Each structure stands twice: as structure tokens, then as C-alpha cells.
A and B are shown apart, each in its own frame.
Chain A
Amino acid sequence: MTFEIQINNKPVTVKRGETILEVLNRIGIKVPTLCSMKGFAPTGMCRMCVIEVEGKENLIPACSFKVEEWMKIQTHSPRVVHARKTIVELLLANHPDDCLFCERNGNCELQTLAEELHVRERTIKGEKRKFYIDQSALSIVYDTDKCILCGRCIRVCRETIGNHTFDFAYRGKRMSVLPALNKNLNHSNCLQCGQCIMVCPTAALSDKVNFSEFKVFFHDVNKKAVAVYSPAVATTLAETLGLKSKASLHGILSAVFRKLGFDYIIDSSIGADLMLQMQCEEFISRLKANDKFPMVTSCCPSWVKYFEQLSIDNLHLLSSQKSSGQMAGHIAKRYISKKDNIAVENIITVSIVPCTSRKYEAKRPEMVIDGITDTDAVITTRELLRMIKMNGIDINNIEPEPWSGFFATNSSAGKLVNIAGGTTEAFIINLHYELTGKILDGLKPLNTRNLKEYKEFSLNIGDHLINFVIVNGLSGINKVIDIIKEGKKDIHFIEVMVCQGGCIAGGGQPLPASEESLKLRLKNIYEAVDSAAIRTCYENASLAEMLREEIIDKNNLRALFLKKEVLL
């Protein structure tokens, strides 16, 4: 049902049930918001979006009120603008004056508000909150002083991730956002997924910056630095930097990484192919033994951490390979060492991923074999972008450079594993090939490619009827936990990705996150997958060659899962 209301003295047709904010957005009137998030119920916390409604003594927040027939709204009257400005000034009065040295400088919602509302004087002064910076976690840094208590991180973690690491604690002047019992993040149940960073309007939450750690090696002639990058990073980079040419991304990336000081450039798809092959092998042996079902993917480190934190004794259900990224690092070191005759310890692998959690994963104990770490540093897409900026690289004008030559071929799996449902898709193609010798054509009817939070389906592969579950984000995780707890053996394969949408929506991607860019990434990746020449890891010549040469020991590619004691 529609009816008419007045906005800024003009009639506007609105639908019943719409919030005022939705209407304003629709008709091109911008009111500032801080606490509201698309797809979440409004909380009305920040009061930035206040507007004036005739007949109401007080201003009301546009995000939390629905339109009603009698409304005559002023969105930018002097009173309203003054109120918004005062609110920003009140926030700034309690905010560190740190913009010039801040992770979010130039990309901060608070900064933008101050700019837009023309705050030009420090009118309100007073005591500022002074707490601490929590550096304890391996992926996430929490600078409590910069928190403006908007609650967005709490809601994403609780409602999208389903983890509830943070909550508001205390009240009034003392209110803060804290993990359980005010223990540091490292002792909390935080999965390091970084989704809270993606919604934090300020630099209160950010990822741990690692790129300075390995820069020293660039100047050490004895060390060779290898960039192991995820295909998801490549598409994101192209999108974010507005790559105009359709020229080969590989060539441009080679040029970029060389300019940054890397000696070798490797696409982590090689790891994905190997991971899938081992996963298929393991699955088939479980099928034969009719044991250890369901097999649960272990390629998302945040999910693995979640599983390890649950106090249930079913860790053996996790598929036992390391993740593709870690495998890629492991392979790269051994392979380059052998081929170019460089001591393994002189090879530095830097993983470049859309994921913050990999920073944590890389430091897991099983990622060190004989004193050699699989991955020496992990940097996110955001960090890569920063390095590109710092080094003055203009990707629209650089000359593409030839590929490093190693692992030149890969299957589409390396791209698929970055999307929720993609690991299952790639797994099905490979398993089908392994069991029937044939390449499966088209998986669309299975709907692996929609982004539902929880889906179940069955498929005949060879002589087997196999039941799959795909979980996208942890909001559907309770069903999986029930399956596992009840020991349901008729579900065979469960894929879990913590970030909704998969790694293309990972916590290390550029800010701000938007639905449009997620759609664009999905489109680009699926296009590349569908036009890929090779679809199974068994057809990947580079992988086959490497395996033939027995440079690596598959036993070193097994993950080690251990129970974790944290405050849940």
C-alpha cells in the first residue's frame, strides 16, 4: 500500500512499512548514519540520522521510524544540521586526535562526517577515554580508544558470523565493547575472520599489519621472496584500482610484484589443486571404510578454530589436509629450492590473500616443518593495495611482465575455493572424475552457486549417492553441529566458510565492503571458472609434474587439529 507524505516541503509517495531512511535513500536525500547497517534491524544508537517531523517536539532517527501518513519531514533544517554537528563534535571530544597516524586516515566514516558537517573548531573539550590497544591476537588489532560504540562489530559477529566475541560491557561513561571477562582477544573465541573490521566505521578494529616484517628481505641478496597470491586478490585488485585494459592479469601482477621486490610469483591455485586431490583421496578411502562421516572441510581457518573451540570430540571428521594457501607456500619453497638450487631457509614465502584469518593460520604449529615455516608472512588485499600506493605503482600504465614460469597451469579449482559453495563444486567435479573418469558437465541444477546460508542436496556420483551440506557464514552452523553431535553418517560432505559469500568477501578485502562489489567479484570469478581450460586437478600438468618429481612429502601436508580452551 502506498501513500503520500511531505519531505522537505515536497510530496513523496511511500510504501507502508518502509523506514524514513529507506525512503530518503531512495529519493536521493543523504542523511548521515553511523550505527545502521543494511540488512540488520535498526538500533537507533547513534542518533546521526535524526530528522525533524512536524508536530514532534524532539527530533527522531530516520533509521528507526517507519513512515506514517501524517508526516511532514525536514531532513536538513538548521536545527537538524546543528544537532548532527553537535553529535559529531561530542564524539570527537572523546576521540584521539590521531587521524594523521591512523590506519583509516582517508577512509574513515567519522572523519568523513566531520568533514561533511564542516566541523572546523574543537568546540567541545574534555577528558578522553584512555584504555589500551589489544594487540594480542594474530590477525585483529583492537584500538579501544577509537571505538565509538556503534555496535556494528557486535552485530556482525553475532548475527552474521554467529560467534558473539564482543559485546557491550558496563554502561554510561564506562561503556565499552569488550570480549568475555575483558580478557584479551587472543583468549577470546574470536575466529580472526575480520568481518568486524569490514563494518567498523573507524580504526578501532583493523588487521594486524605484516607487510613491514618482510620488507627487509627484499634487500638481502641471499633471500629470495616469493609472492603466493590468491586469484581472489587478483580480481579484487583489478576492480579496486580500476584496471582498464583487459590485458592478462597475470602479466600485470607479475610486474606489480616484481616492482614490489618479489623474486618469484606463484598463483596459489597450485595449492588448491593439490588440496583437492588429497581431499578426494581421503574421501574415497573413508567411503571404502564407510567411516568418519561426514567429512568436514578444513580450508577455512576460522571455521577450524570454531570447531576446535567447541567442546565436542569430533575433530577427526575434519578433512585432514592443510589449506590450499599453506600448501602453496610449502610447495613453493621446496620446488623453487630444488629447481633454482637455493637453500630452503633462504626462500621467503609471502601469502597474499583476502583473508585476515590466514595470518593466524600461518602461525599454527603444524605449519612449521623441520624449522621451515610454510608461509613466512601473510598480507591482505588491503595491505597489498597500500604497498602498491607506497611504491607509486600505476597499474594502468605499467608494462605487463612475463610469468615466473613455475606452476604455469592450474585448474579452475583455485578460483572456486574462494567462493562459498565453490569448494564443494570443485570437489564434486574432481570426485566425479576420479570415480568415473569423466568430466562432469555443468553443476547449475545443484545450486552450489547460490548464496543461501544453509543448503543440503544429494548427488549420484559413480555408484554412490552422496549427500552434501554447504554452510555459508556461520548462521546456519547449529544444524551442522547437530549433524555432527548426533553422529549422522548419511551426510557425507560438509563445506563451511565463515565469511558470507566466501573469501571474496573476506575480512582482508578493501573497505568499505559493498554488495555491488561482492556481486562483481562473483561474476568475474565465475566467468573465469566457466572459461577455464582445465577443470580438474588431475588434468593439471604442473601438479602432475611436481608430484612425479617427489619433491614434497604428502605427510608434511597434513593438518593437526587440537581442542582449544577459550571462553565461549
Chain B
Amino acid sequence: MSSSAIAEILKNFQRNRSEALIPVLQEVQEADGYISELAVRQISEYLGIPSSKIYGVATFYNQFRFSPRGKFHIQVCFGTACHIMGSSTVLEVIERLLKIKDGQCSKDGLFSLEVGTCTGGCGQAPVIVVNGVFYGKVTEERIKQIIAEMQDEAI
């Protein structure tokens, strides 16, 4: 993401207002998929917040990442309802199929995997979310199918 694109986002916020930090980070990540060093520098300058603090705030929350994510970002819900309904097996299956672990991105940049918390769809547990699309009551077969669809889409 270019410096001017970041500036474009910052323009909508008041300067030197620390309470804007989280909304700014959310918008930058929304646009870029992650928070780059450039973004940290620019946000720090604009909002008057030290970079160490930006890093501290961002790493506190689940949402923010400092490395790019894959084309398909898979989140496996690890909420209680999903755990009870077998989400650890779901994670195992995905890790096995994609050969990546929680927090990693596959070498081809196609998939990244993250353990997430409850999406509120507990009634349909276990739940996974791929690029914002929810899948409920997933089974090993269904996961294989979803991944295959994505691999096809990528080609």
C-alpha cells in the first residue's frame, strides 16, 4: 500500500488524536490486509503516537497482523461451542491439508490460517470463515471440498 493511500485513510481522522488509532489500523488493514512498517511510521507521525505504542496496541488484539495474508484467509473458530463440536479436528484437518499452521501463510501465498474466536454462529458449530464467508457444521469432507474449490478458483 502506497504512502499516499495511507494518507488518504488518515485524512478522515483528526491529527494527534490517540483514540483514532484502532479505527485507523482497522481501515489500513482492511485495505492492505496487514499493517506494514510504512503504515506504522505514517500513523505514528500523523496521530502523534510512538511506534512502540502502536505495536503494543495492535498486538494486543486478535485482528491485526504485521505480515501479509494469503489470497484465501481461513479462520477456524475456537470458541467453546465449536470446541465442543470438534473444532480441534477441523484445525488438524486444515493444517494437514494445507501444510501450514496457525498464523502461517502457505508458500505460494494462497492460504493463510488463523485460529479465531467466536463468530456468533455457535448454533452452526463448528464454524470456519474464509475471506469473510462463513461455513457452518463443517466436516472433513466439506473442508476438502472448500479447499479444492479455492484451489480451482486460483488457477
Residues of A within 8 A of B (CB): 164-171, 178-182, 188-189, 567-568
Determine the distance from Cα of A189 to Cα of B53 in the docked complex, in whole angstroms: 12
Do B60 and A164 touch (CB < 8 A)?
no
A170-B60, A567-B40 as given contacts; A164 in contact with B66, CB under 8 Å: no
A181-B37, A181-B40, A181-B66 as given contacts; A568 in contact with B51, CB under 8 Å: yes
State how many angstroms separate the Cβ of A189 from the closest Cβ of chain B: 8
Interface residue tally on B, bucketed by range = 10 to 19
Chain A residue at minimal CB-CB distance from B66: A181
Chain A residue at minimal CB-CB distance from B62: A171
* Docked complex: B49-69 residues within 8 A CB-CB of A: 50-56, 59-60, 66
A567-B40, A567-B41, A568-B44 as given contacts; A179 in contact with B52, CB under 8 Å: yes
Q: Which of the residues A171, A181, A189 comes within 8 Å of B55, measured between beta carbons?
A: A181
Determine the distance from Cα of A553 to Cα of B57 in the docked complex, in whole angstroms: 51
Residues in B with CB closer than 8 Å to A166 are 52
State how many angstroms separate the Cβ of A275 from the closest Cβ of chain B: 32
21 A-B pairs within 8 Å (CB atoms) are namely A165-B52, A167-B53, A167-B55, A169-B59, A170-B59, A178-B52, A178-B56, A180-B54, A181-B51, A181-B55, A182-B55, A188-B52, A189-B51, A567-B37, A567-B40, A567-B41, A567-B44, A567-B51, A568-B41, A568-B45, A568-B51
Residues in B with CB closer than 8 Å to A170 are 59-60
Residues in A with CB closer than 8 Å to B45 are 568
State how many angstroms separate the Cβ of A45 from the closest Cβ of chain B: 15
State how many angstroms separate the Cβ of A116 from the closest Cβ of chain B: 32
Determine the distance from Cα of A189 to Cα of B55 in the docked complex, in whole angstroms: 14
State how many angstroms separate the Cβ of B50 from the closest Cβ of chain A: 4
> How many residue-residue contacts, CB under 8 A, span A and B?
51
Residues in B with CB closer than 8 Å to A178 are 52, 55-56
State how many angstroms separate the Cβ of B116 from the closest Cβ of chain A: 16
Determine the distance from Cα of A179 to Cα of B55 in the docked complex, in whole angstroms: 8
Residues in B with CB closer than 8 Å to A568 are 41, 44-45, 50-51
Do A169 and B44 touch (CB < 8 A)?
no
Determine the distance from Cα of A180 to Cα of B44 in the docked complex, in whole angstroms: 11
State how many angstroms separate the Cβ of A312 from the closest Cβ of chain B: 12
New contact pairs (16) apart from A180-B40, A189-B51, A568-B45, CB-CB < 8 Å: A164-B52, A165-B52, A166-B52, A167-B50, A167-B53, A167-B55, A168-B56, A168-B60, A170-B60, A178-B55, A180-B50, A181-B40, A189-B50, A189-B52, A567-B37, A568-B41
Residues in B with CB closer than 8 Å to A188 are 52
Residues in A with CB closer than 8 Å to B40 are 180-181, 567
Do A180 and B55 touch (CB < 8 A)?
yes
Determine the distance from Cα of A167 to Cα of B53 in the docked complex, in whole angstroms: 6
Residues in A with CB closer than 8 Å to B56 are 167-169, 178
Do A169 and B51 touch (CB < 8 A)?
no
Residues of B within 8 A of A (CB): 37, 40-41, 44-45, 50-56, 59-60, 66
Residues in B with CB closer than 8 Å to A165 are 52
Chain A residue at minimal CB-CB distance from B35: A181
Residues in A with CB closer than 8 Å to B59 are 169-171
Residues in A with CB closer than 8 Å to B54 are 180
Chain A residue at minimal CB-CB distance from B54: A180
Determine the distance from Cα of A290 to Cα of B40 in the docked complex, in whole angstroms: 40
State how many angstroms separate the Cβ of B63 from the closest Cβ of chain A: 13
Chain B residue at minimal CB-CB distance from A567: B51
Name the 7 nearest CB pairs between A and B, nearest first: A167-B56, A180-B51, A164-B50, A180-B52, A167-B52, A567-B51, A169-B59
Residues in B with CB closer than 8 Å to A169 are 55-56, 59-60
Determine the distance from Cα of A169 to Cα of B61 in the docked complex, in whole angstroms: 10
State how many angstroms separate the Cβ of B19 from the closest Cβ of chain A: 17
Residues in B with CB closer than 8 Å to A171 are 59-60
Determine the distance from Cα of A182 to Cα of B41 in the docked complex, in whole angstroms: 14
State how many angstroms separate the Cβ of A539 from the closest Cβ of chain B: 46
State how many angstroms separate the Cβ of B118 from the closest Cβ of chain A: 17
Determine the distance from Cα of A427 to Cα of B55 in the docked complex, in whole angstroms: 42
Determine the distance from Cα of A179 to Cα of B53 in the docked complex, in whole angstroms: 9
Determine the distance from Cα of A568 to Cα of B45 in the docked complex, in whole angstroms: 8
Residues in A with CB closer than 8 Å to B41 are 567-568
State how many angstroms separate the Cβ of B104 from the closest Cβ of chain A: 16
Determine the distance from Cα of A168 to Cα of B59 in the docked complex, in whole angstroms: 9
Chain B residue at minimal CB-CB distance from A188: B52
State how many angstroms separate the Cβ of A565 from the closest Cβ of chain B: 10
Chain B residue at minimal CB-CB distance from A163: B50
Residues in B with CB closer than 8 Å to A179 are 52
State how many angstroms separate the Cβ of A481 from the closest Cβ of chain B: 12
Determine the distance from Cα of A178 to Cα of B66 in the docked complex, in whole angstroms: 15
Chain B residue at minimal CB-CB distance from A171: B60
Residues in B with CB closer than 8 Å to A567 are 37, 40-41, 44, 51-52
Residues in A with CB closer than 8 Å to B52 are 164-167, 178-180, 188-189, 567
Chain A residue at minimal CB-CB distance from B37: A181
State how many angstroms separate the Cβ of A477 from the closest Cβ of chain B: 14
Residues in B with CB closer than 8 Å to A182 are 55
Residues in A with CB closer than 8 Å to B53 are 164, 167
Determine the distance from Cα of A168 to Cα of B57 in the docked complex, in whole angstroms: 8
State how many angstroms separate the Cβ of A356 from the closest Cβ of chain B: 19
Q: Which among B37, B45, B50 has the greatest number of chain A C-beta atoms within 10 A?
A: B50
Chain A residue at minimal CB-CB distance from B61: A171
Determine the distance from Cα of A436 to Cα of B58 in the docked complex, in whole angstroms: 59
State how many angstroms separate the Cβ of A203 from the closest Cβ of chain B: 22
Residues in A with CB closer than 8 Å to B44 are 567-568
State how many angstroms separate the Cβ of A184 from the closest Cβ of chain B: 13
